[in-house]
Amino acid sequence: MRRVVVIGGGIAGLAAAWTASRRARQLADGVEVVLLEKERQVGGKARSVTRDGWLVESGPGGFLGGRPELTQLIDQAGLTGDARPANAAAARRFIYRAGKVREIVANPVGFALAGILSPLGLLRLMGEPFVPQRRDGIEETVWAFAARRIGREAADRLVMPMTLGIFAGDAKRLSLPAAFPRMEALEREHGSLIRGLIARRGKTSSGTLTSFDAGIETLPRALAACGDFTVRCGAEVTGIERLGRTWKVRIAGDAEPLTADVVVLAGEPWAVAPLLRPLNDAAADDLDGIYCPPVTVVGLGYRLEDAPAVPRGFGVLITRGQGYRMLGNLWDSHIFPQRSPDGHVLIRLMLGGAVDPDAGRLTEDEALDLARDEVSRLYGITAAPRHERVVRWPRAIAQYELGHPARRTRIEGAVGALGGLVIGGSGLHGVAFGDAAASGVRCGEQAVEFLR
């Protein structure tokens, strides 16, 4: 019997194992799929911690529905009826600037009155359709692109906070085509962001923010539990090597390596790099070059009566230089009500990232002290939290810095040339939960195609 080994038990690895095991049924002979995860549980950073009526997400708080690969996984795992769209209040987004939490209003008048941009900044933004399209093909950072098209002020006050919220990253370092390919496509196809958005209105949808009653880890747990593949947790892979047409996968504590016809590398770039090092030093260097800064997630729960200034909405991003170290905070129980007891609100904030890695390295007690202080100042809360939770990620979200598209091409080319080796995951093709799942599905398809 032939074997596919998937290394990494996050959503990408689980999607790869699930897809490979289902596609392999079409082959004449049997195929065994084995997933190896070094931690004690699957899911990667998609972990949902429930205690005393509070549900705190350790990583992504939800996913955008409508992604075909993700929709299919949810359906095949029997979870379609368990998926829950976010409250309508989640459509309300805010930015903190100049001492005030300001709502980003969709209509032009409301946006102008919010005070996010100065009159000159608004005029520059309105002139975006008249900015010439760039055609030289030179890769730009997210900030440089935004400054060129909508002005430096809007780039600083709108795009930089948005980048913090998605990547915990620095817009002046991230690659536009790698981090926000759809934004680049708007200019390429329509010559303008505003004209492109108008042209696409009603034709495309970014999907509805969605999760499950028991949290986002519901999907990875279900895939692991009911998939037609073997899951081994606590299995740390220490090396892989090619012997003839067979791969040998060495696992810490195992006397003999595990043989495989195809190996899928679905872990994070810093975890995969040592495995590739003996096979292709340059590819390992490229993986090591993908920066994954530390991020700390802090959940604080309050009685609603103690936090009346917290708006009903999704959350607030904070521009740099405003007197706060947190990147922003989400009002999780306004988005998904089941995440706090009745009469309470759960505030989940992020520290660290590429713009302030030292904050991501704080101890648990230091992070709690900082979070309590900043939330109290921001919302005028004087009462102590009723619930607290800290999750520290020493290496968190992959940063798609300038040069990432070329780096990704080199990595995939080097891995593909080895034969029977497939690579994917959030380090290469999208950091969102749905992007990682889609990457895993593609890896599973590639693994079975190689077996053909």
Residue 90 lies in a domain: no
**Model's pTM, two decimal places?**
0.94
The DSSP H or E segment spanning 393 is strand 387-393
Residues 6+ apart with CB under 8 A from 373: none
Residue 92 lies in a domain: no
* pLDDT higher than 60, residue 204: no
CA–CA gap between residue 56 and residue 47 (Å, rounded): 8
CATH of the domain at 299: 3.90.660.20
For 119-165, the pLDDT digits (tens) are: 999 999 999 999 999 989 899 999 999 999 999 999 999 999 999 99
For 88-107, the pLDDT digits (tens) are: 999 999 999 999 999 999 88
Residue 55 lies in a domain: no
Do 182 and 228 belong together in one domain? Answer: no
Do 323 and 313 belong together in one domain? Answer: yes
- Domains held by the chain: number: 3
pLDDT in the model for residue 94: 97
Do 270 and 405 belong together in one domain? Answer: yes
Residue 95 lies in a domain: no
Q: b/e map of 159-185 (b: 16 or more CB within 10 Å)?
A: bbbbbbbbbbbbbbbbbbbbbbeebbe
Residue 67 lies in a domain: no
For 408-423, the pLDDT digits (tens) are: 999 999 999 999 999 9
Better pLDDT: 203 or 67: 67
Residue 417 lies in a domain: yes
Residue 138 lies in a domain: yes
Rg (CA), the chain: 23
Q: Which two tokens stand for residue 293?
A: 């800064």
The DSSP H or E segment spanning 239 is strand 237-243
Share of the chain above pLDDT 90, in %: 92
Query: Do residues 177 and 184 touch, judged by C-beta distance below 8 A?
Result: yes
For 282-317, the pLDDT digits (tens) are: 999 999 999 999 999 999 999 999 999 999 999 999
User: Domain boundary residue among 200, 227, 250?
Assistant: 200
Q: Which residues form the domain of 284?
A: 2-49+217-291+400-451
Average pLDDT over residues 3-16: 97
Residue 278 lies in a domain: yes
Max distance between CA atoms of the chain, in angstroms, equals 70
Q: Which two tokens stand for residue 38?
A: 């070094």
CATH of the domain at 416: 3.50.50.60
* pLDDT higher than 70, residue 206: no
pLDDT band, residue 176 (cuts 50/70/90): very high
Query: Do residues 213 and 48 touch, judged by C-beta distance below 8 A?
Result: no
